[in-house]
A and B are shown apart, each in its own frame.
Chain A
Amino acid sequence: MDVTFKKENDIAIVYIKGRIDAISAPEFEKRIDGMISEGNSTFVLDLSELEYISSAGLRSILVLAKRLKSENGKIVFSGLKGPVAEVFKISGFYSIFNVFADEKEALKNM
């Protein structure tokens, strides 16, 4: 898993590449949690280069989203494809999160 990050107009855009599995999920959660603690409250998670996510990763996303919600923050997703889109669908994440086709579309709707 590889996490990179940029900031645009107070929005944190985070690119997650590779795999979020039971081994890398804690690291993923820690990275984003750290960004929240540093004062970021609006996030676009771009998953266009995420190839794999298991329930451990979705669990981390729920933990982070609940924290952001309680602190009046916001998290949206972009670029999901293949198996990542499939597990989001199965988990009902499309009904609790805003999911956009790509980063540009997400930023337009923030």
Chain B
Amino acid sequence: MTHSSTLTLPATISNLERFLELVSKCALTCGMDKKRVTEIEIATEEALVNIIQHAYRGEKGEIEVECDIKKDTLSIKIIDYGPPFNILTLQDPDVNATLEERKIGGLGVFFMKKLMDGVDYKREGNKNILILTAYKDRTTEFDS
């Protein structure tokens, strides 16, 4: 089974839901269970919010989200046209720090890495392309 859908919208927080609806529909089509669908939505939200808040530095811009389903694998391609920026170079937060030491923020990119089976970045022409990959049959410790 191969299936692909694309949505391009202005990079604003009000469009977050429409992007997440597309991603959750694709994850369901791929046969993911409810928990996995939510995890994929969370990872996608983190990528989108990062673009909305930082990529265009207050200027208007667009985000393109493309979902590709191939057999048991969902790939979510998230494209922006901001300056080159590989978010995967950001340092992971210290999740062992005490409450007093914990820094506010920095969890978003970490969530993407932990919740997805793969996160890849490439720069192509004027595009930042982030690819989130999720396999249908991944199991996590907290399955319920």
Q: What residues make up the interface of A, taking CB atoms closer than 8 Å to B?
A: 21-23, 51-56, 58-59, 62-63, 65-66, 69, 81-83, 85-87, 89-92, 95-97
- Is residue B49 within 8 Å, beta carbon to beta carbon, of the partner chain? yes
- Of A22, A62, A86, the residue contacting B39 (CB under 8 A) is A86
Measured CA separation A87–B39 after assembly (Å): 9
Binds A, one of B58-66, B81-89, B106-114, B128-136: B106-114
Which residues of chain B come closer than 8 Å to A58, judged between CB atoms? 107
Q: Please determine whether A96 and B111 come into contact, CB atoms closer than 8 angstroms.
A: no
Interface of A is mostly: helix
Q: Please determine whether B110 and A90 come into contact, CB atoms closer than 8 angstroms.
A: yes
Which residues of chain B come closer than 8 Å to A91, judged between CB atoms? 93, 95, 107, 110-111
Q: Please determine whether B99 and A96 come into contact, CB atoms closer than 8 angstroms.
A: yes
B133 to chain A, nearest CB (A): 18
- Is residue B124 within 8 Å, beta carbon to beta carbon, of the partner chain? no
Interface of B is mostly: helix
Known: A62-B104, A87-B42. A82 touches B95 (CB 8 A): no
Contact with A along B37-63 (1 / 0, CB 8 A): 011011001100100000000000000
| Cβ-closest 4 pairs across A and B | A92-B95, A55-B107, A83-B38, A55-B108
Contact with A along B91-128 (1 / 0, CB 8 A): 00101111110101101101100110000000000000
B31 to chain A, nearest CB (A): 17
Measured CA separation A56–B35 after assembly (Å): 19
Which residues of chain B come closer than 8 Å to A21, judged between CB atoms? 16, 20, 45
Q: Please determine whether A22 and B38 come into contact, CB atoms closer than 8 angstroms.
A: no
Which residues of chain B come closer than 8 Å to A62, judged between CB atoms? 99, 102, 104
